[in-house]
Amino acid sequence: MPSPAAPLHIAVVKETAAHERRVALTPDSAKRFAKLGVRLSMEPGAGEAAAFADAAYRDAGVELGVPWAEVDIVLCVQPPPLAQMKGVKSGAAVIGMLSPQQNLASLNAWAAAGLDAFAMEWVPRITRAQSMDVVSSQSNLAGYKAVLDAAAEYGGAFPMMMTAAGTVPAARVFVLGAGVAGLQAIATAKRLGAIVSATDVRRAAGEQVESLGAKFVAVEGGESGETASGYAKEMSADYLRQQAALVAEHLKSQNIAICTALVFGRRAPVLISRAMVDAMQPGSVIVDLAAGQGGNCACTEPGKIVEHKGVRIIGHLNVPSRLAANASALYARNLYQFCAAFHDAESGALRWPDDDEIVQAVRCVHGGRLVHPALQTEKKQGEQKQGDQTS
């Protein structure tokens, strides 16, 4: 009699990237996976930095220690080096926030080892995939934390306070970019009692900003800044000039600026110039959530808090990791939803149909090759550069 097939084996790495405190599995998501009949293992201590103890995982049925040769799926936050998955078999798949364009060397090494790879930040923004949207789940927390970081650095109070000794004015908070992070920043600053305003290039953002009780400050009429997929597009030079004049004038009266503006696949737009920082009141604070993508403020130094003429500019990287427990819980749930959507109950395996919209959007390595169209362009540009250098 043939022996029954081994259950699907999902392993979780202990993150090794600097300042990464998140983990791709929580005891709660482990219990959900267990209901699918999955075998789970993880590197000991993988949840420690996010305050999830090994014992809690063990109680949820997770094996501590990964027998790599038996693993089918590897869950991670950031891409693990191949050496960390020593002996992993060809055909296994890595799922995580892989920053594929910045990690071509890793992806090529995985392709050579026969691994598949799925980049969760490329999950399309369609209704079916909402519960797998890692960008939204992490940005939401980043927007919240940005306001707390600003409050901690700012030498004043957020709410107006009327006391016998006089009135403390409410802080004025200006949010640049009203997407997922920006809207959460607005809501958080409002809850703390600040007077909040925001700007965005997408007209639809205006209504959302106002529904949170904040003032929308934007260039009137003209272009719509929204693409068909709901992201911002790169704006014309004329629009950016008008926007810069508007931002310059508005910023002078603000105490806090929270920068969250991004354009998909491009360097972040610079919305606050050095001259605009010069014109801000000393003691003001800028939090630049776009620091990792080049920054929305010309004075931002990624990973640092700097001071320019009395204005503090906070350029923390990987802000979601600063709320590691919540960020891990949401991220782990996103991963579970992704895996569950492609779980075949009959065979117990994960099946990735070639014609599925989500699979096409996130699969970046398959069958020994980089398969995503965005990576083909990167590869061609790399080859072109090499050609230019040798000719």
Closer by beta carbon to ligand NAD, 91 or else 230 = 230
Least distance (Å) between residue 145 CB and ligand NAD: 15
Rounded Cα gap, residues 363 and 117, in angstroms: 6
Please name the amino acid found at residue 244.
A
Q: Facing residues of 39 across strands?
A: 9
Give buried/exposed letters for 256-284 (b at 16+ CB in 10 A, else e): bbbbbbbbeeeebbbbbbeebbeebeeeb
Least distance (Å) between residue 41 CB and ligand NAD: 32
Contact pick of 61, 68, 193, 231 for ligand NAD (by CB under 6 A) = 231
Single out the residue of 128, 134, 122 nearest to residue 364, CA to CA: 122
Q: Other CB atoms closer than 10 Å to residue 375's CB: what's the count?
A: 19
Least distance (Å) between residue 17 CB and ligand NAD: 21
Closer by beta carbon to ligand NAD, 79 or else 269 = 269
Q: Taking CB positions, which residue lies at the least distance from ligand NAD?
A: 179
Rounded Cα gap, residues 210 and 203, in angstroms: 12
Rounded Cα gap, residues 114 and 72, in angstroms: 12
Contact pick of 15, 20, 200, 288 for ligand NAD (by CB under 6 A) = 200
Q: Facing residues of 288 across strands?
A: 259
Query: Looking at 14-22, 31-39, 263-271, 301-309, which segment touches ligand NAD (CB under 6 A)?
Result: 263-271
155-184: contacts with ligand NAD (CB under 6 A): 176-182
Give buried/exposed letters for 214-237 (b at 16+ CB in 10 A, else e): bebbbbeeeeebbeeeeebbebee
139 lines the binding site for ligand NAD (CB under 6 A): yes
130 lines the binding site for ligand NAD (CB under 6 A): yes
Closer by beta carbon to ligand NAD, 42 or else 251 = 251
Least distance (Å) between residue 321 CB and ligand NAD: 17
Closer by beta carbon to ligand NAD, 46 or else 290 = 290
Backbone angles phi, psi at 348, to 5 degrees: 80, 0
Query: Looking at 30-38, 231-239, 309-317, 371-379, which segment touches ligand NAD (CB under 6 A)?
Result: 231-239
With 0-12 / 13-18 / 19 or more C-beta atoms within 10 angstroms meaning exposed / middle / buried, residue 115 is buried
Catalytic residues: 125, 130, 133, 136, 231
The H-or-E segment that residue 311 falls in is strand 311-314
Query: Looking at 50-58, 95-103, 129-137, 331-339, which segment touches ligand NAD (CB under 6 A)?
Result: 129-137
Closer by beta carbon to ligand NAD, 176 or else 324 = 176
With 0-12 / 13-18 / 19 or more C-beta atoms within 10 angstroms meaning exposed / middle / buried, residue 165 is exposed
265-294: contacts with ligand NAD (CB under 6 A): 269, 271
Instruction: Tell me 164's DSSP state.
Output: T
Contact pick of 133, 149, 153, 288 for ligand NAD (by CB under 6 A) = 133
Contact pick of 186, 205, 259, 339 for ligand NAD (by CB under 6 A) = 205
Closer by beta carbon to ligand NAD, 207 or else 383 = 207
125 lines the binding site for ligand NAD (CB under 6 A): yes
264 lines the binding site for ligand NAD (CB under 6 A): yes
Contact pick of 21, 39, 172, 202 for ligand NAD (by CB under 6 A) = 202
Q: Facing residues of 41 across strands?
A: 11, 63
Closer by beta carbon to ligand NAD, 202 or else 316 = 202
Name the strands in the sheet holding 39-42, side by side, starting at the edge strand that comes first in the sequence. Answer: 63-64, 39-42, 9-12, 73-75, 93-96, 116-119, 363-366, 369-370
262 lines the binding site for ligand NAD (CB under 6 A): yes
198 lines the binding site for ligand NAD (CB under 6 A): no
201 lines the binding site for ligand NAD (CB under 6 A): yes
Closer by beta carbon to ligand NAD, 29 or else 199 = 199
Which spans in the chain are helix H?
27-35, 54-59, 104-112, 134-153, 180-191, 203-211, 237-251, 274-278, 324-341, 357-362, 373-390
Contact pick of 199, 254, 318, 321 for ligand NAD (by CB under 6 A) = 199
Q: What is the contact surface with ligand NAD in residues (CB under 6 A)?
A: 125, 130, 133, 135-136, 139, 176-182, 199-202, 205, 230-232, 235, 260-264, 269, 271
